[in-house]
Structure 1
Amino acid sequence: MTNKNEGTASRIYLVVNFVILILITILFSWHATRYYSDWNNGLESFMKNMAVSLSYPAWTYDKRVIEQITAVMIEKDEIISVVVYDDKNNKLVVKEKKLNLTTTDLLFGTKRLDRTYNLIYADTYVGKVIFTYIDRSTRTFLVVSGTGAALLYIVSALLILNIKKSKKLAAMVNELNELNAELEMAFNELEETQNKIINAEKMAALGKLMVNIAHDINTPAGIIYSSLTEQQNRIDNVVKKFQSDQLTEEDFKDCLDTISELNQIMLRNAKRIIELVQSLKRTAMNEMTQTWSEVNVKSLVNDVLNAMHPRLRKTKIEVVTEVDDNLVAYTVPGAIAQILMNLIDNAIVHAFEYDNPGKIVIKFEKVMSRNKEEYLQLTFSDNGKGMDEETKKRAFEPFYTTDKENGTGLGLSIVYNLVVDMLGGDIELESEIGKGTTLRIKIPLTKKNA
């Protein structure tokens, strides 16, 4: 009887173990397939986004920006080399790092793979980028996961037999903790890479701003040059008449009047150049320093609008500001300036699509919360085309954009990070198709002596 019971128990044990083995195999296969798909899709998305960010610098042959962007790319663990070509198949930038395949890599079958993406700007082929990467992380994951699945089966079998149950469970918990630590490290690396990409985008935007200001300075500089030339001609003419005793009082007076008018013209245009340069200087310094200080909000807004004037004047957009002349806040001027610049640029590209007429209203005011805390509130609104529900939900996601050709998907993401992470505020977005968009940003005001 005992032998019969033992035989029955043994058969049940084998059936249970077989069922457990089948379930673990199915679970492992599903999980491994999903992990590889997520890894592959994530890496492909990263490469595509990087290719998009390289299209404009490749079009302008801006090697400095290409160097900055590829420097961020090569820091990703899987990527071992990035080669950027122009439209004539000439190498623009090559970034690579040394790859040492270990015995473990050879054992796991780690492969070296390539992917090529064309660089398209304004529907024009401007070059290509070739990524070389390895699938070490996926191979390692498969081996580790396979090992984990095998251990799970062994532990399950041991649990059925009630042998060393506590010890095996503790070993599995430790292994899971190690896997969680690795996942946390991978997440931190991803976050660091994202911050570097955002900084690269910020520097590229500042460079574009300087180029636009330079174009805007050309006009008053040309007027000054023309006025000086005319003034010199008038003086030379008077000197010739004086030397030949042909200078009359009327000629001399006419020369003085003309020179006076020309001086006024030159003074006005020189003042314009000084204002442009000072606005750019203050905006650029605020962008770079990111320090806390007291600032007149209206002056800061005017500096940003002066810096953005070359871009705005090419549109049909009217910008209206509602800011008290004496509104002073202790905050990070560079963060406020960058928030405004990104919001204006985002409205130009997405709300009005470059050439449509429209209106932007920028309003700053101090508000008091229910618990008597003081906030600086920015209300930024436009009467553009608005957003649908899907766009509103994903508006602050990095790399999400409705303009695949020109947008980078970082504008509103940078605004969100500055408002929430740096300034400790919050941001609300309201939008409706055909009725425009409104963003309300509340920033807590810190006392200067705090």
Structure 2
Amino acid sequence: MNPILERVLLEVSQSELIDLGDLDLASKLIIKSVCRGLNIGRAGIWLLTEDNQSIDCFILIDNQTKLNNITLTRSQFPSYFNALDTERIIAASDAITDAATCEFADIYLRPNAITAMLDSPIRHAGKMIGIICCEYKGGQRHWSHDEQAFVSSLADLYGRAVNAKKVKAYQIKLETINTALESEVDNRTAELKKAINDLQSTQAMLIENEKLAALGNLVAGVAHEVNTPLGISVTSTSHCIDELNKIKKRFVASDLSQQDFEEFIETLTDGLYLIERNLSRAAELVHNFKRTAADQLILEKEYVNLTEYLAQISSPLRPLTRKQGIQLDIQISPELYIHSYPGAIAQIFTNLVSNCFRHAFPSDFIGQKRILLGAEICADEIKMFYKDNGIGLSENVKSKIFEPFFTTARNIGGTGLGMSIVHNLVTQKLGGRIEIVSGLNQGFEVDIYIKSIE
């Protein structure tokens, strides 16, 4: 190829404007390079419509003047379009007489003083999309093979620029989609975080309600249990006051014998002893309830005599089990000491006992209802356990028992949080492990293992 044409072609191929994605800038560069390389003053790029029935002027430069808005149709110039259909270079040395271009003679060539034309197909993705049209003024011109190859190469570079524009458009579209997707992800993430926060708040509220419900049951049971000794104490006090008034009248009337006074002393002593025993019993119930309730609300770590503490926990639970017709027994190894959270332990056993009222003993249960609470040493661990002789669990229920909100008694007020709270307290607060031993009609056992010494 002619060195001048090679140099112009190399400059265009190395220009960043070709791959910038701006088709206007690339088109101007290519047309100006055509004019410089071929030493002509007029050239343009024409693009075929989708139906190949017309060709529109994308850019046309005539001596540095840019022209556009020109359209040529197949119906007007059938011979020219037939030549285009071959997708070959149209090299018309004499455009006025050439079979492919003579149709332009009167309406395009002569008015613009064009005497020779060189049209090279532009291809993109294997399809002809237009032409580079080189127009010469000044008589006939023979287009050399180098000149034809030069224009064909520039047409290929225009195809590269078209591809760059499409790539840029895809990138912009992809960036827009990514931005929209990121925004959507951010929105969904924010919604998810809010939903999680709402769920956690609701769960915390439900757990707190469950704890308060368990304490409420304790309050009701203790209140009922305390009424008995207080009632006896009130009755005994009234009896003592009546006896005192009687002896006082006899004393004022000087009608008090030694035997009457000794009988009064004996009656008053019995009454006061009865009052003392029952008030002590009521005070013990209230004390144990206060300790258990306070421990459940304030979870602090301390050294605890587990033997005494389980006995203390069982005290406010007994009124509840007695009301349900359940026998509550304690089985504890002597003098078990732990450094742990007594409040968590109290809450665990309170939940387990409360849980049995809904699940262990249905209304048609036959036989003595029994619950056994206890603790014993197992190697380097302490095992605390709860056992009942109720209806037990199926394998399906046992596999889901620690899932939050899973319950088989929702119709009678079950929330499905009792065993979930127990599991979390054992594994997270006490740092222990929990095992379930149960089968249908085989009772229910919960074994809790914690370290004996930390």
* Superposition TM-score, scaled by structure 1 size: 0.59
Structural mapping, 1:146-157, within 5 Å = none
Distance in 1, matches of 2:308 and 2:168, equals 75
SS in 2 for 1:440: strand
Distance in 2, matches of 1:329 and 1:348, equals 29
Structural mapping, 1:45-60, within 5 Å = none
Distance in 1, matches of 2:346 and 2:124, equals 84
SS in 1 for 2:372: strand
CA contact (8 A) 1:386 1:435 kept: yes
Query: Match for residue 379 of structure 1?
Result: 385
Q: Mean alpha-carbon deviation: is it higher for 225-234 or for 173-182?
A: 173-182
**Counterparts in 2 of 1:230 and 1:163: CA distance versus 1, 3 Å:** closer
Aligned pair partner of 1:414 in 400, 421, 425: 421
Alpha-carbon distance, 1:307 to partner = 1.1
Query: Match for residue 335 of structure 1?
Result: 344
* Letter of the 1:272 counterpart: R
Aligned pair partner of 2:432 in 425, 431, 434: 425
Distance in 1, matches of 2:453 and 2:309, equals 18
Encode CA deviations 1:303-334: one digit per residue, 9 max, x unaligned: 22111122111122222222123111111111
**Counterparts in 2 of 1:348 and 1:159: CA distance versus 1, 3 Å:** farther
SS in 2 for 1:385: coil
Encode CA deviations 1:245-274: one digit per residue, 9 max, x unaligned: 322222121111111111111111011011
Aligned pair partner of 1:277 in 262, 269, 286: 286
CA contact (8 A) 2:310 2:374 kept: no
* Unaligned ranges ≥5, structure 2: 1-86, 88-121, 129-165
**Counterparts in 2 of 1:212 and 1:427: CA distance versus 1, 3 Å:** same
Query: Match for residue 56 of structure 1?
Result: none
SS in 2 for 1:430: strand
Distance in 2, matches of 1:274 and 1:163, equals 80
Q: Does 1:221 align with 2:227?
A: no
Query: Match for residue 4 of structure 2?
Result: none
Distance in 2, matches of 1:256 and 1:408, equals 57
Q: Does 1:363 align with 2:374?
A: yes
Q: Does 1:298 align with 2:307?
A: yes
Distance in 2, matches of 1:164 and 1:446, equals 65
Distance in 2, matches of 1:281 and 1:223, equals 22
* Letter of the 1:241 counterpart: R
* Letter of the 1:250 counterpart: Q
**Counterparts in 2 of 1:185 and 1:445: CA distance versus 1, 3 Å:** farther
Aligned pair partner of 1:288 in 297, 309, 313: 297
Query: Match for residue 97 of structure 2?
Result: none
Structural mapping, 1:86-101, within 5 Å = none
Query: Match for residue 11 of structure 2?
Result: none
Q: Does 1:400 align with 2:411?
A: no
Distance in 2, matches of 1:163 and 1:6, equals 22
Alpha-carbon distance, 1:363 to partner = 2.1
Distance in 1, matches of 2:283 and 2:352, equals 26
Distance in 2, matches of 1:277 and 1:5, equals 91
**Counterparts in 2 of 1:241 and 1:174: CA distance versus 1, 3 Å:** same
Query: Match for residue 209 of structure 2?
Result: 200
* Unaligned ranges ≥5, structure 1: 9-157, 369-373
Query: Match for residue 248 of structure 1?
Result: 257
Distance in 2, matches of 1:168 and 1:242, equals 108
Distance in 1, matches of 2:172 and 2:381, equals 61
Structural mapping, 1:177-196, within 5 Å = 178=186, 181-182=189-190, 183-184=192-193, 186-196=195-205
Alpha-carbon distance, 1:366 to partner = 3.1
Aligned pair partner of 1:232 in 217, 221, 241: 241
SS in 1 for 2:287: helix
CA contact (8 A) 2:218 2:317 kept: yes
Encode CA deviations 1:216-244: one digit per residue, 9 max, x unaligned: 11111111111111111112222222222
Q: Which has the larger radius of gyration?
A: 2
Q: Which has the higher helix share?
A: 1
CA contact (8 A) 1:315 1:355 kept: no
Query: Match for residue 109 of structure 1?
Result: none
Query: Match for residue 126 of structure 1?
Result: none
* Superposition TM-score, scaled by structure 2 size: 0.58
SS in 1 for 2:328: strand
Distance in 2, matches of 1:244 and 1:446, equals 72
Distance in 1, matches of 2:393 and 2:401, equals 9
Q: Does 1:390 align with 2:390?
A: no
Distance in 2, matches of 1:181 and 1:277, equals 50
* Letter of the 1:310 counterpart: P
The CA RMSD over aligned residues, in Å, is 3.0
